Amino acid sequence: MNIEQPSVPVAPAPLVNRPEGRATRAQFQTQDDKDMLRAARDLTKDLGEAKATIYWPDMLISAGIGYAGIATAILSGNVAVSIIAGVAASLALYRALMFIHELTHIRKSALPGFRLGWNLLVGVPMLTPSFMYEGVHVIHHKRTQYGTIEDPEYLPLALMKPWSLPVFVLVALLAPIALIVRFGILVPLGAILPPVRKFVWERFSSLSINPEFRRKAPTGDFRKRVLWQETAASVWAIAILLSPLVLDWRPVLIALAIFSVTAVLNQLRTLVAHLWENEGEAMTVTAQFLDSVNVPPPGPVAELWAPVGLRYHALHHLMPSMPYHDLPEAHRRLKRELGDGSTYDGANHPGMANLVGRIAQSTMVRR
């Protein structure tokens, strides 16, 4: 397994129990815990193979439940049944959508056909094709760019105003409409007006939260993938815009409501994926790890709001190419070997409520 290592030699920070409190990002801002990094590498050597027998059924079953839930919510004449079906659809489609994260890390040859299948079944129908994450998310994992102004997926939310947190979450309600406008209106306009095309690509073609991020134009084979994915998503978005002329507005509004719930759930998960305490300076791998979040078992709820391995987000930052199905075993080994109070334990948190409270409290203290 490929563990990111610091580019220059640094003095190791010894693994010690810290009864006075958990390890923090600030302690390792300029030096790595090389013992932890070594343990992560050595204890997981036999893991790391993406298994098609897990990826395909998980993705297909999640997508199937999601679309069946949408159909039930639309066709049922019972309000309670529609609501239950809608919630189930949101959770299932959310899990199916989160495979976009895996697509950015697994080798293209590891799962033949999976990227294409995911885009056809999930990415394009949900107007979130894989090009919106590929080539962007990897920047978030670069040692010298994580947490800096160049990171498309980082904002110092814990250092911002208190009102920024609810705004950050609730703006996701508009995500489905924004995607329809992007693919159904702006993409066709961009085909005619190059300045519009350039603007849309730079500002609205990545799943990023940093408003300063500007995406570079695609090149080579990636440009070809962008072309077909964007064209397919554009055709689908136009069909959605025109569908009320045939089906009336009810099916579209129900589907949009379900997708909005999915988007808000993902935004809540993003809110607690990190502690967001970095003020823009480059960090060591260990500091990045401790600024990130694991929400390990026994709590079962985290698997709903952080599916497909995302409940081990801090561990993922240590081992970006580790398949999601191997992360639980990797966590068990590291936790057992390094123990309570270790640097590794510093990234383990009990749940979403605790994390939201911590970040919210930080915004109030710094106001």
Q: How many CA atoms lie within 13 A of 179 on its CB side?
A: 26
Which carries the bigger pLDDT value, residue 14 or residue 133? Answer: 133
For 68-88, the pLDDT digits (tens) are 999 999 999 899 999 999 999
For 247-281, the pLDDT digits (tens) are 889 999 999 999 999 999 999 999 999 999 988 88
Evaluate whether 199 touches 215 at the Cβ level (below 8 Å).
Answer: no
The amino acid sitting at 102 is E
- For the segment 272-298, the average pLDDT, to the nearest whole number, is 92
Evaluate whether 195 touches 209 at the Cβ level (below 8 Å).
Answer: no
Residue 9 has pLDDT above 70, yes or no: no
Confidence at residue 21, expressed as pLDDT on a 0 to 100 scale: 67
% of the chain exceeding 90 in pLDDT: 80
In this structure, what DSSP letter does residue 37 have? Answer: H
Confidence at residue 93, expressed as pLDDT on a 0 to 100 scale: 98
Per the prediction, the chain carries an average pLDDT of 90
Residue 64 has pLDDT above 50, yes or no: yes
> CA 257, CA 356: separation in Å to the nearest integer?
24
Confidence at residue 366, expressed as pLDDT on a 0 to 100 scale: 56
For 20-34, the pLDDT digits (tens) are 467 888 888 888 889
Confidence at residue 300, expressed as pLDDT on a 0 to 100 scale: 83
Report the sign of the C-alpha dihedral through residues 349, 351, 356, 358, in that order. negative
3-state SS, residue 348: strand
> Which pLDDT band holds residue 183 (cuts at 50, 70, 90)?
very high
C-alpha closest to that of 289 among 265, 269, 319, 311: 319
Backbone angles phi, psi at 281, to 5 degrees: -85, 155
Residue 19 has pLDDT above 50, yes or no: no
The amino acid sitting at 62 is S
Angle at 35 between CA 333 and CA 319, to 5 degrees: 55
Backbone angles phi, psi at 294, to 5 degrees: -105, 140
3-state SS, residue 294: strand
% of the chain exceeding 70 in pLDDT: 94
Residues 6+ apart with CB under 8 A from 115: 103, 108, 130
Which carries the bigger pLDDT value, residue 51 or residue 107? Answer: 51
Tell me the whole-structure pTM to 2 decimals.
0.90
